[in-house]
Amino acid sequence: MKKLIVLTLCFFSYFTFASDDVKIRADLEFITNTNVESGKLCFGDSECTTYSTFYLFNTRVHNVILGDVVDGSFKVIYGQHALIEQDITDVVLTLKKLDENNQFGALYQVVSIE
């Protein structure tokens, strides 16, 4: 019974992965801090401040784990609080496709880094 529950949860998590999302192993080469707000921190109803901004990276793909993605390299954005302005190497990224006409010139937004 326990095996059945575990298998069901594994299959369920596979199907909940968004169809537009991709997962890759890659390196991120820092380009710039865009200073465009990616997160806001509010105290009460009116006191808000920028919590995080989007950073622009060039991504070099090592291999595709899940989904369809352009081989080689392309630009991505990532907004995380206290993100250090440096290169990040050999990580697994979950990416969400962006509109072609986005203000960053990036193909994807990084949803998570493992």
- The sign of the CA dihedral 90, 110, 50, 55 is positive
Asked if 67 and 23 touch (Cβ cutoff 8 Å), the reply is yes
pTM recorded for the entire structure: 0.79
Q: How far apart are CA 57 and CA 75, in angstroms?
A: 6
**pLDDT, tens digit, 9 for 90 and up, residues 96-111:** 999 989 999 999 999 9
Arithmetic mean of pLDDT, 19-40: 92
What percentage of the chain carries pLDDT values higher than 90? 65
**pLDDT, tens digit, 9 for 90 and up, residues 45-74:** 889 999 999 999 999 999 999 998 887 899
Q: How far apart are CA 33 and CA 6, in angstroms?
A: 42
Evaluate if residue 11 carries a pLDDT over 60.
no
Arithmetic mean of pLDDT, 79-90: 90
DSSP conformation class of 8:
H
Q: How far apart are CA 18 and CA 15, in angstroms?
A: 8
Evaluate if residue 18 carries a pLDDT over 80.
no
